[in-house]
Structure 1
Amino acid sequence: MRSKQSRNNNELVSWGVFLVVTLVLSALVWAGWSVIGHRSDAPTLTLPGKGPDTSVTVGVKDMPQSLDIRANSSDAAQRLLIDNVYETLITVDQQNQLQPGLATSWKVSDDALTYTFTIADGVTFSNGHTLDGTDVVWSLQQAVTKQYADVSDLGELASITNPDAHTVTIALTSPNPTLLRALSGRLGIVYDSEAGDTDYAKQAIGSGPFTVSKFTPAQSLTLAYSGTYHGTKAKVGTITFNQYSDEAKLNEALANGSIDMAAPATASVASAANGKENLKVSEGTTTDKVLLAFNNGTDSIMSDEKVRTTFRYLIDAAAIASSQPDSGGLLGGPISPTEPGYEDLTGLFPHDMSQVQSMTSYFGSYLTTVDFVVTEQYRSMAEAIAQQIAQVPRPTVNLEVVSDQDYAKRIQDGSWELTLMSMDGTGDAGEFVDPNSIFHYDHAAAEQAYASARAATNDQEYADRMKAYARTLSQDAASDWLYTRKCFTVASSKLSGYPTALIDTRMPLGAVAKEQ
């Protein structure tokens, strides 16, 4: 194993960056960085340890086209690689709470402009190279200079340095209360700065409990036990993910035992597996929020707050939520129960036809026709909502079920009033005040509330201010938030140690065990 211990403290990497924000270009301009010391970039790949003889096969609904999680915002790649092959500075537990990852601890200054991380000792990449603060700085440098996916989530950076091998300091020019959350995802992955010309689309050199053994784009991915892993070693020798686009074939594979698990499974796959011998169905929480979105653009009747309010009283959200097999509970606002800033807002707009009658009579002939545009997956829910709207003489609903391609164009062009969609991300409520978002929502008080939340200097302050922001959005009926989705896992009764929550975003399988 090659070591970095020969580099003394004054030979470590120190990388400073200075951010210039221009309102016209909205771009990051980096003044420069300095690298002290030089290391060989020709890695010697080492074979992973053989590990246990057991193997696990997982059926998934989507498989990435590329393993390059840096430039590619593929949810599938992130779900399969993070916590299995790659590790992040911060990680997330099954309750969506931030936990130590490669950073064993961190401190935040009172003004929230300086974050100091302690990097774990004794960690190596799967090729035998030592992982330390140099690799952390280099990884963040690459994300910024090459504008990798989601890089803006890092906020306004002033500098990133590693004063010693196990300390990394990130300095900001303004607070970013979601920086730690960003470092728990793709931006927090630590790559080997010595890996040279690695083809990240096909290979992965990480520090996790598995290595990439074989990858067939959009078809399958096999992970192998890593004997160099610094933590508790994996309990199985290989894990193979196979894509199933046909639910009937996935059900058959579960029934005949050709796969050990389906995750995340759809509600229909979970229903088909219920009661079957040797299969266990588990449910878990997600941050996936299903909403009836309103086009608040000036050319849409939904730009009128009274119209939006009318629709929220008219739509029986509780009935919709209870009728959906993937519903984890009625929502009422833009933040799910496991996200910072959640408050139960379901009481703001209960289904109330008396309120609707008074409002629709007030509008007279103003409410004429609304274009309700959805994709096939939301057809049945959209039909139920259209039937609810039909309880009043106006408006008439023009329900259009279109292809994914046509849907994307219609939504982008703004030629719609209503649509059904989901938002799956911690902290994504900020999209409602983004002037470039599909919602075209313009509300000064909401913008101010969100700006205040973004200026928070500690977690409690951020949660409290996000709560206020979410209430402002919901009271103004920016959209109609229906329910939070739950996720399903169908697994052989021989399996144990697998996650059941948040598996739509990450699926750590290092603790999975299989009875022989």
Structure 2
Amino acid sequence: MLTRLKLSAAVLALAAAPLAAFAAQDTITVGMQLEPPNLDPTSGAAAAIREVTYANLYEGLTRFGPDGSVQPGLASTWESQEDGKIWTFRLREGVKFHDGTTMDAEDVVFTLDRARAADSTNAQKQLFAGIETVEAVDPLTVRVTLKTPDGNFPFNMAWGDAVIMGPESVAGNATNPIGTGPFKFGTWVQGDRVELVANPDYWGEAPKLSKATFKFISDPTAAFAAMMAGDVDAFPVYPAPETLDQFKADPRFSVIVGTTEGETILAMNNKQPPLDNVKVRAAIAHAIDRQELIDGAMFGYGTPIGTHFAPHHPDYVDLTGLSAFDPEKSKALLAEAGVTVPKLRLALPPPAYARRGGELIAARLRNVGIETEISNLEWAQWLEQVFKGKDFDLTIISHVEPMDINIYARPDYYFQYGKPEFVAILDRLSATVDAAARSDLLKQAQTMIAEDYVNAYLFQLPKTGVANARIKGLWENTPAPAIDLTGVWWED
């Protein structure tokens, strides 16, 4: 009898084994090339912060959908008065922060007042500069009065920099983030990974994933190996496009190619001689072969751009001809400038497009008589030295925030432009509601920075992603820096 019982138990165990093997998977490991410097998107500029936190940990009044549309977030509805000068947001009921405290109108007032305060460290402080007052009409109603009408205000509130935070927890959000999202913070092993777990008290539809791990792999070769070995389930912004054909040929994987909001530029320090001379900047722009960069640094993926604006936007103006590859014109402009160009410091952050592109650009500049000194910086070092310290001549970076041409109106921004005439255009844009008039102003803005050669405009960063073929729901395009896992699941 004992032997028969053991045998029966063994048979049952074997029968159960396939069921366990094919049980629905509800955890995911996501690869990222850059590690966020902190986990508070309201006090840091790095896109990696939002890639981990946007929609997963933190939520705003509104949010971006995968198609770039503005959708309800913590506000279920909103309406405007006086042609967009007054905005009233109706908040959802029953929303709590991860620490159990209630999210209500007072938290919205706190968040927006903090973002626009004189001592605010918000990287996109201009999003809030037009606010005159924020009032809690009742616990679930917020009224925002602007200095001038702004029909784009709900769009501004969808940015990762505008997520709602509680005064009880905001001080610790850099390392212990407390939001309202469908995932809660688990652990952060610095240099390795961030782990999130499903929020059992989430106000909305529960995520299909119980746990998500963001794994940081900076080396493209290591990223390829991790995907092939199954150590990483998905790499939504995959850093080694040269290996995409191998994944396309392997039925275990899906390759997801889309667009981003990432304008990749050779940024120039406009206050640093001789780069304060527009002819020198123009000479640098004409020395660069955009297609060579796309082929050599991105293996054919990418769209040439001639200004700081996404080509898929309906108001985009193709200005690539203003800075077409023309080495002889570049040399002539340098002669006209009449200045000696010293060896320029080319600071390169870690992404492969920057490191590979930097070598190609340095060679092209050498051909027209401009020498460069390349320094490869780690991400935190780039943020401190280049972005904050403005201690550079040239750098290569993708600006991945949506509709961010307004950074050119900020004279203290790292490339230091802020031309008064450009600021005037952006001021008129902020006060304009009419769609046709806004389109015209956006086209004027694009043209002015292209004609001033503020930076050398290279290409629109593509979104090249790789994932296990069973994973569904990842964004194809990237209308904002985000790895939104709220709608991701494993197909059986």
Same fold (TM over 0.5): yes
Partner of 2:344: 371
Partner of 2:209: 236
Distance in 2 separating the partners of 1:507 and 1:189: 16
1:89 positional shift: 0.8
Partner of 1:293: 267
Letter in 1 for 2:440: D
Question: Residues 160-309 of structure 1 correspond to what in structure 2 (within 5 A)?
Answer: 160-175=134-149, 179-192=153-166, 199-268=172-241, 271=244, 273-297=247-271, 299-300=273-274, 302-309=275-282
1:435 to 380, 386, 411: 411
Letter in 1 for 2:257: E
8 Å contact kept, 1:154–1:179: no
Mean alpha-carbon deviation: is it higher for 408-417 or for 176-185?
408-417
Q: Which runs of 5+ in 1 are unaligned?
A: 1-51
Letter in 1 for 2:89: F
8 Å contact kept, 1:270–1:488: no
Partner of 2:26: 54
1:484 positional shift: 0.8
CA distances 1:370-421 after superposition (whole Å, capped 9, x unpaired): 52523275454344334444555xxx22121114259965898878654433
Distance in 2 separating the partners of 1:415 and 1:239: 37
CA distances 1:274-302 after superposition (whole Å, capped 9, x unpaired): 423412221221122122334433731x4
CA distances 1:99-136 after superposition (whole Å, capped 9, x unpaired): 22222232233453211112234544456655433432
CA distances 1:313-334 after superposition (whole Å, capped 9, x unpaired): 4433344334431742000011
Distance in 2 separating the partners of 1:416 and 1:142: 31
1:446 to 414, 422, 426: 422
Question: Residues 339-358 of structure 1 correspond to what in structure 2 (within 5 A)?
Answer: 341-352=315-326, 355=329
8 Å contact kept, 2:398–2:461: no
Letter in 1 for 2:427: A
> Secondary structure at 2:407's aligned position in 1?
helix
> Secondary structure at 2:371's aligned position in 1?
strand
8 Å contact kept, 2:50–2:482: yes
1:505 positional shift: 1.2
Distance in 1 separating the partners of 2:277 and 2:154: 38
Partner of 1:511: 487
1:101 aligns with 2:73: yes
Distance in 2 separating the partners of 1:127 and 1:414: 38
Rate the CA distance shift 1:495–1:412 in 2: closer, same or farther, 3 A. Answer: closer
Distance in 2 separating the partners of 1:411 and 1:154: 21
1:170 positional shift: 0.5
Question: Residues 58-73 of structure 1 correspond to what in structure 2 (within 5 A)?
Answer: 58-64=30-36, 66-73=38-45
1:492 positional shift: 0.7
Letter in 2 for 1:174: T
> Secondary structure at 2:484's aligned position in 1?
coil
Letter in 1 for 2:148: S
Partner of 2:92: 120
1:506 positional shift: 0.8
Rate the CA distance shift 1:105–1:343 in 2: closer, same or farther, 3 A. Answer: farther
CA distances 1:33-92 after superposition (whole Å, capped 9, x unpaired): xxxxxxxxxxxxxxxxxxx76211222223345434444455333221221122211111
Mean alpha-carbon deviation: is it higher for 177-186 or for 84-93?
177-186
> Secondary structure at 1:402's aligned position in 2?
strand
2:59 to 61, 73, 87: 87
Letter in 1 for 2:412: N
Letter in 2 for 1:492: N
Distance in 2 separating the partners of 1:147 and 1:275: 49
Partner of 1:332: 306
Mean alpha-carbon deviation: is it higher for 69-78 or for 219-228?
69-78
8 Å contact kept, 1:84–1:508: yes
Partner of 1:45: none
Q: How many residues were matched structurally?
A: 460
Distance in 2 separating the partners of 1:64 and 1:246: 16
Rate the CA distance shift 1:370–1:221 in 2: closer, same or farther, 3 A. Answer: closer
Distance in 1 separating the partners of 2:90 and 2:358: 50
8 Å contact kept, 1:289–1:422: yes
Distance in 1 separating the partners of 2:178 and 2:139: 20
TM-score with structure 2 length normalisation? 0.80
Partner of 1:18: none
8 Å contact kept, 2:68–2:479: no
Question: Residues 133-172 of structure 1 correspond to what in structure 2 (within 5 A)?
Answer: 133-144=105-116, 147-150=120-123, 151-172=125-146
Partner of 1:385: 361
8 Å contact kept, 1:79–1:503: no
Mean alpha-carbon deviation: is it higher for 463-472 or for 218-227?
218-227
Distance in 1 separating the partners of 2:364 and 2:456: 14
Distance in 2 separating the partners of 1:415 and 1:213: 36
CA distances 1:481-505 after superposition (whole Å, capped 9, x unpaired): 0101112221111211112322871
1:425 aligns with 2:398: no
> Secondary structure at 1:347's aligned position in 2?
helix
> Secondary structure at 1:487's aligned position in 2?
strand
8 Å contact kept, 1:330–1:346: yes
Q: Which runs of 5+ in 2 are unaligned?
A: 1-23
Letter in 2 for 1:244: I
Letter in 2 for 1:278: R
Distance in 2 separating the partners of 1:75 and 1:500: 18
1:199 positional shift: 4.3
Rate the CA distance shift 1:344–1:110 in 2: closer, same or farther, 3 A. Answer: farther
Distance in 2 separating the partners of 1:508 and 1:80: 8
8 Å contact kept, 1:225–1:234: yes
Distance in 1 separating the partners of 2:271 and 2:253: 49
Letter in 2 for 1:439: F
CA distances 1:10-48 after superposition (whole Å, capped 9, x unpaired): xxxxxxxxxxxxxxxxxxxxxxxxxxxxxxxxxxxxxxx
